[in-house]
Amino acid sequence: MPCRTDWPEETTTKQNREALKLKGEADKLTKLLCTTLEWMERSEASLFNKFLSKYKAVDTWWTKHKKFDLARLASEKLSIDERKALLDYIKKNKRLP
């Protein structure tokens, strides 16, 4: 008898769909937060630094996320111009592509 959970197959599939949906929502929120913090960091540096000093959890997340994002960008080989074009698109259209 093969090893398996006691969950019926349809429940597992439903849970997988729900997990994928939640991951998609988390990814969308991450993109929004990243875009917002990146804009704040560029546009309002002194205010941004005060904000990060007050909200340490955001500061910790932002530091880790920037490292992760740099690694991702390097692996995707996005040029600085491509990244700038993406940010310009977001500013112009007020949404993610």
Predicted confidence (pLDDT) per residue in 35-60, tens digit: 999 999 999 899 999 999 999 999 99
Residues 53-81: tens digit of each pLDDT: 999 999 999 999 888 887 777 767 767 77
Provide the residue ranges of all domains of the chain, joining segments of one domain with +: 9-93
Entry pTM: 0.60
Distances from the Cα of 74 to the Cαs of 49, 67, 71, in angstroms? 26, 11, 5
CA angle 50, 51, 54 (to 5 degrees): 85
69 Cβ partners below 8 Å, 6+ apart? 34
pLDDT at site 5: 42
pLDDT band at 9 (very low <50, low <70, confident <90, very high): low
Question: How far is it, in rounded angstroms, from Cα 40 to Cα 51?
Answer: 10
How far apart (Å, rounded) are the C-alpha atoms in residues 7 and 20?
18
Q: Above 60 in pLDDT, residue 92?
A: yes
Q: Please name the residues in contact with 47: beta carbons below 8 A apart, sequence gap of 6 or more.
A: 40
pLDDT above 70 for 88: yes
